[in-house]
Structure 1
């Protein structure tokens, strides 16, 4: 009677560190680290090794003596790697998972409060107009024609016959045609503006004349009173004892003031 052969397949075993070695460094308490330097998520519990500043898993965190797994200080694939002295270092997990998550949420909320949600957009830079467009309002038909002729003399593309033009030559030719077409209207507008300015100046002059006429009488009386008061004060000084020179000067001043009073009183 034939016997059946049972094929046995070895199952894949979970890899785990079997070393009983312990680092000479003192046990590392998780509470001494910053909240962002350790991760207590059961799916990937790990921390930043203080010796090499590398994220390292914690072996058997549910046991009384969890340790850091052995790791190297160089990147993976380096020949003759050097093992970090923090390998097999005992870890004291003295922080609750809920407390760790709460501290992370508070830190994220504080950071979000410091960051501005306002988007500062870069201002759009306006394109500078061409020189011809800037000078166009300032040119008349003759000036535009002179500019076009100067361009034709110095341009190798624009032919003397005017049949072939470059981009700038075409724009200048269009500008000359536009200025010649609008020159009569521009001159008429300038004439109207000159007449309006002349009338405006005449109106201002009439306004000044009317304002002066309304106050001329008061100003005239004030001038007569000032000249009369000055004449009286000078006449009082004439009666004092003076030498001939001072008396002659005083007499000249009295004559000038008397003529002024007479002129203003007319």
Structure 2
């Protein structure tokens, strides 16, 4: 086998040695840091926060592991499995339910309707526009007093442009 190829580490315990520390009781660890599903038995190392498989059938222990090139002191740590798989699954479901209740509900936004175009952007005929400016002048106090407001000035400019365009079109027809 070439030196560059990596081999998958076996999941069985290769040594009977332990790290000399007292056994780590799984019941003292947070439920989220334990995975006891069949075939996926693993544990979040309390020292280096790395997910490591649980190896050994008779005497379960934390598999040898390293982080940043240094071997963790919790490698080959004996484990005391003092929680049943059913109890672990129930506690995990409770923790998950509690976390879900703290999350905000997903929001669904309705699309906003497109805004109506401004009166200046609408294609009006000359008479419609003329009637519109008359109605505006009747309702607008500055326009009634002889000092047209901004809107009134824009309407008047639009009418003027429309009238000039109609006049040019008529002169082209007659020519």
TM range (shorter): 0.5 to 0.7
Distance 1:132 1:26 in 2: 83
Aligned pair in 2 of structure 1 residues 120, 15: CA closer, same or farther (>3 Å)? closer
Aligned pair in 2 of structure 1 residues 23, 112: CA closer, same or farther (>3 Å)? same
TM-score normalized by the length of structure 2: 0.60
Specify which structure has the higher proportion of helix: 1
Asked if residue 85 in structure 1 is aligned to residue 78 in structure 2, the reply is no
Equivalent position of 2:31 in the other structure: 35
Distance 1:72 1:131 in 2: 71
Gaps of 5+ in 2: 1-9, 135-154, 171-175
Equivalent position of 2:17 in the other structure: 21
Equivalent position of 2:114 in the other structure: 126
Distance 2:168 2:19 in 1: 96
Q: RMSD of the TM alignment (CA)? A: 3.3
Distance 1:24 1:128 in 2: 77
Aligned pair in 2 of structure 1 residues 29, 162: CA closer, same or farther (>3 Å)? farther
The one of 45, 51, 54 equivalent to 1:49 is 45
Equivalent position of 1:68 in the other structure: 62
Specify which structure has the higher proportion of strand: 2
Q: Specify the SS of the correspondent of 1:139.
A: helix
Q: 1:57-112 deviations in whole A, cap 9, x for unaligned?
A: 0111x31x3211111103xxxxxx22111111111111111111111222233344
Aligned residues: 133
Q: Specify the SS of the correspondent of 2:160.
A: helix
Superposed displacement of residue 125, structure 1: 5.3
Asked if residue 139 in structure 1 is aligned to residue 133 in structure 2, the reply is yes
Distance 1:15 1:91 in 2: 16
CA contact (8 A) 2:36 2:85 kept: yes
Distance 2:11 2:26 in 1: 25
Aligned pair in 2 of structure 1 residues 15, 105: CA closer, same or farther (>3 Å)? closer
- The higher relative CO (CA closer than 8 Å, separation ≥ 6) is in 2
Gaps of 5+ in 1: 1-13, 75-80, 153-159, 164-266
Aligned pair in 2 of structure 1 residues 84, 138: CA closer, same or farther (>3 Å)? same
Equivalent position of 1:234 in the other structure: none
